[in-house]
Amino acid sequence: MAINVASKTLISQADNYAGNFGEVLRSSAIFWVKSDSHLRTTISFSNYWKYKNFTDVRVLVNLRNLWGEIVNRKVIDFEKGYVCNYLPPDNFEGSVEVEAFSNKNIRIPYAAVMAIYESSDSISMVHSYARAYSQHEIEDHRTLSDGEESCWTLRDNSTNSSFSTVHNGPNRQERQRAVLRVRNSLGIEQSTEIELPELLPFQTITFRPKEYFLNLIDFLDGEPGNARVSFKLNGGFSRMLCGTEMVDKTQLQVTHSNFDYSTHDTDIIKDGVVRAYMRTPNVIGSFQQEIVVYPDTNAGVYVSECDGETETFKTGEIFGLSFDSSEGKLIRFSRTDNILPTRIVTALRLNSQPQNIPAECSMGVVHHKRPEKNFHWMLVSEKFRSQVCWVDFQEVYGGCPDSAEFVFKLYTPNEEEDLVKNLVRSDLPENCVMELSSIFNYASLTDDYCYLSIWCSYGGLMFFSTLEKNNSITIEHSF
């Protein structure tokens, strides 16, 4: 929930944990889609409203062009199965909005939907980022349409081009001056104003920093940078899709932006255990891991501890740790003033070859204010060799006992009956990673995108799933 406090906006983590979103009868998500000879987009979602909360919904899929004009509207009834994999038409670029409607409170107003972008040499997935607010949210001032977005990695060089995509809400947004800032690995920042014309309802726009900073490649000097942008939407949530594509269109990797916490506020931890944790999962294969803390944190000087090494960094600096290993890591975070914001935006990057665009999964930190979570669901695919991996925040929740119960269920587009496997922790791999085909009989799996749900009696786990194509990997945390 967003609350205006003086000149800043408080992004309340406590309200988010408590599900304090008011009466929610509509849930939605909007994605950029493009399908041509270089890129294939799939919008995938499951009827989790039914299998998680036993709630019936009516789902609409709205296809719009870049100017926000409706092209097609389709009702999804889930009669054949629990999963829908929606493909936009060929030679199309625009947006897809997924809306779920119910006659009872479905609690969360943003729909749990995935987009998968497949190029000739890569695959990338991202969960819901943008959405259009419902009218009652606008009237109740439960909106955040004044965008102060950051956590946008820049990788511009002779072969790569970075971009972000924004979707306006259901109302016209008057012309404006957006502010785009780019920062290099040394912490040096450049800024420019962008004259944006009036935005039409549901219009999709794209920012490409190299169009506004002609020296961007030299400025970045071969190292990842960061961008942040200030803008306004009318009735739309300001989250952006952030991507890097190869100039020859053979690879694309995406993630989502996050709030600029040097501009916004969040809850502060002052008492008890004033420490937060990030754990990255083990991944099968030869992948280098990189851990990143995006630079626009709540103002302060931070301390990280990993593998016995302690380092400090401050707001405005891009902080990263690289490991020539697919093995997961534990990082502990604190701050020198002995207080801690509840949100520190981090990322896990995975890569197998230097010439590839790395996968980037936007994450965050876990602390003692975070409630337990027992139910998880995620996108998987046998065709793209999905791994299922998890981490145990034992520092917060005490550690998963060997007797903890796990219930795995696989949901597909064409089967009304789901596949179920009941196990306990001692049945599962010690290193907390396994291939999808090791959970269920290979013959029962399909090449379609499916959804895996996991219920665990212990509430301190976080799950991830992967997709792989050629030497490219993508990873995303579960819902």
Instruction: List pLDDT tens digits, range 188-201.
Output: 999 999 999 999 99
Give residues with Cβ within 8 angstroms of 1, minimum separation 6.
Answer: 12, 15, 16, 20, 21, 142
Q: What is the pTM assigned to this prediction?
A: 0.95
264 in a structural domain? no
How is the chain split among helix, strand and coil, in percent rounded to 5? 10, 50, 45
Residues 452 and 403 in one domain: yes
Q: In which band, very low, low, confident or very high, does the pLDDT at 7 lie, cut at 50, 70 and 90? A: low
pLDDT higher than threshold 50 for residue 5:
no
Domain of 172, in residue numbers: 139-259
Q: What DSSP string runs through 393-438?
A: -HHHH----TT-EEEEEEE-SS-SSPEEEEEEGGGS-TTSEEEGGG
Q: Looking at residue 417, what is its pLDDT?
A: 63
Q: What is the distance between the alpha carbons of residues 474 and 115, in angstroms, rounded to a whole number?
A: 12
Q: In which band, very low, low, confident or very high, does the pLDDT at 1 lie, cut at 50, 70 and 90? A: very low
Rounded to a whole number of angstroms, the CA Rg of the chain reads: 21
Q: In which band, very low, low, confident or very high, does the pLDDT at 3 lie, cut at 50, 70 and 90? A: very low
Helix (H) or strand (E) holding 138: helix 135-139
In degrees, to the nearest 5, what angle opens at C-alpha 203 toward C-alphas 254 and 123? 20
Residues in the chain: 479
Q: Looking at residue 4, what is its pLDDT?
A: 38
- Over range 286-315, report the average pLDDT: 96
Burial (0-12, 13-18, 19+ Cβ within 10 Å), 210: middle
pLDDT higher than threshold 70 for residue 305:
yes
Query: What's the structural domain count of the chain?
Result: 4
Locate tokens 């493909």: which residue? 87
Q: Looking at residue 2, what is its pLDDT?
A: 47
Residues 8 and 129 in one domain: yes
Q: Dump strand ranges (E) for 184-329.
A: 189-196, 204-207, 225-232, 241-246, 252-256, 258-259, 265-266, 268-269, 276-279, 288-293, 301-306, 309-314, 319-323
Mean pLDDT of all residues in the chain? 94
370 in a structural domain? no
- Over range 310-320, report the average pLDDT: 96
458 in a structural domain? yes
pLDDT in tens, 202-249: 999 999 999 999 999 999 999 999 999 999 999 999 999 999 999 999
Residues 147 and 247 in one domain: yes
Helix (H) or strand (E) holding 17: helix 13-18
Domain boundary among 101, 133, 165: 133
- Over range 1-9, report the average pLDDT: 49
Q: What is the distance between the alpha carbons of residues 359 and 155, in angstroms, rounded to a whole number?
A: 12
Domain boundary among 226, 241, 259: 259
Q: What is the distance between the alpha carbons of residues 6 and 178, in angstroms, rounded to a whole number?
A: 22
Q: Looking at residue 11, what is its pLDDT?
A: 84
- Over range 245-273, report the average pLDDT: 95
Residues 115 and 159 in one domain: no
pLDDT higher than threshold 80 for residue 142:
yes
Q: Looking at residue 444, what is its pLDDT?
A: 66
- Over range 259-266, report the average pLDDT: 94
- Over range 103-109, report the average pLDDT: 93
Contact 172, 199 (CB under 8 A): yes
